[in-house]
Amino acid sequence: MGATRHGVVYEGACGPANATTGGVIGPDTIFWLLSMTKAITATACMQLLERGKLKLDQPAGEILPQLKSPQILDGFDASGRPKLRPARNAITVRHLLTHTSGYTYSIWSDRISQYEKVTGMPDIGYSLNGAFSAPLEFEPGERWQYGISMDWVGKLVEAVTDQSLEVYFSEHIFEPLGMGNTGFLISSQQKKRVATMHRRQADGSLAPEPFETNQRPEFFMGGGGLFSTPRDYMTFLTMLLNEGTYRGERILDPDTVKTMFRNHIGDLQVHEMKTAQPSWSSSFDQFPGAVHKWGLSFDINTEPGPHGRSAGSASWAGLLNTYFWIDPVRRVAGSLFTQMLPFYDARVVDLYAQFEQAFYARLPRA
């Protein structure tokens, strides 16, 4: 799906949505967003920053006591037990929004994968509060590494507003934007429209496989718990493309959106996410060999992208091979939705590149 600031200009779909019913896939098919949830959680956080309820460089432990004394994983002893030490630096709201907090994901971390096995700590994807006992892998602010930070941001939003993310998102983002098919808890009618998840097999074929985010969660997962439709999500992207406004509804101030699209990690670098669990994800780098930075919940390419997007564009993805970008220079946005594992599937990535290239080729020259 592609859009300009005036709205959707391209919708395309192919194949069945449901392996059982054979329903046709389309712009109102429901997909699990997983990490494409993060941009929405960041939007909620930025609303609170606008209202003075939070500050970017505020220690997050001032709001969530669990973050006051984080522990850093220093390796494992001879018996395989984890070695922990207290962190020297405080975790700030900015650290959480930029994945510089020290929190990581086991999918892209051998050490946290080992920590989960040794301690029995659940993976964050199960929406169990035990996942928040994870240690840091490095001192806050000292490097970039993708992880569960945005789930902590979700906890911040709930603590400051005294509302669940389900309620806050609905009242302050989804209802104003008319995103009626987006949320954490899926209805019986919506479930009928969910795209079946598939897994790539060794021979290149796709096999259907059950998948559903926890519908009785211990917490609403701000880093990856939402479902949505391509049409709803493009509404959200169009709001950002229009500097915070959609059809007369102001979600964010223009300066806030511009701030989200700026580099917030200084001289630190976004780097390849090397897989620790190949059944879930391939290694991932959107711009290999190029410098890219992190904004407030977006990957920012500092050079023009290889398929058309301008330098300064914002983008990210979801684990089931969903992708989006927002180009504030050409004032366009694009997205691609599939539901399959492992993440960063070569054929899907190639299709995404072809779509982006064709989309820009048909735009009027800047």
What are the residue numbers of the active site? 35, 38, 146
Query: Amino acid identity, residue 258?
Result: K
Structure tokens at 217: 């969660």
Distance CA 244, CA 251 (A): 5
Q: Which residue bears the tokens 């993440």? A: 343
**Contact indicator for 164, 36 with CB cutoff of 8 Å:** no
Structure tokens at 76: 């494992």
Distance CA 306, CA 128 (A): 39
Strands 245-246 and 249-250: antiparallel
Distance CA 327, CA 201 (A): 34
CA distances from 84 to 5, 136, 308 (A): 49, 9, 45
Structure tokens at 92: 């700030």
Distance CA 347, CA 201 (A): 13
Which 8-state DSSP code applies to residue 140?
A: T
**Contact indicator for 36, 324 with CB cutoff of 8 Å:** yes
Strands 198-200 and 340-341: parallel
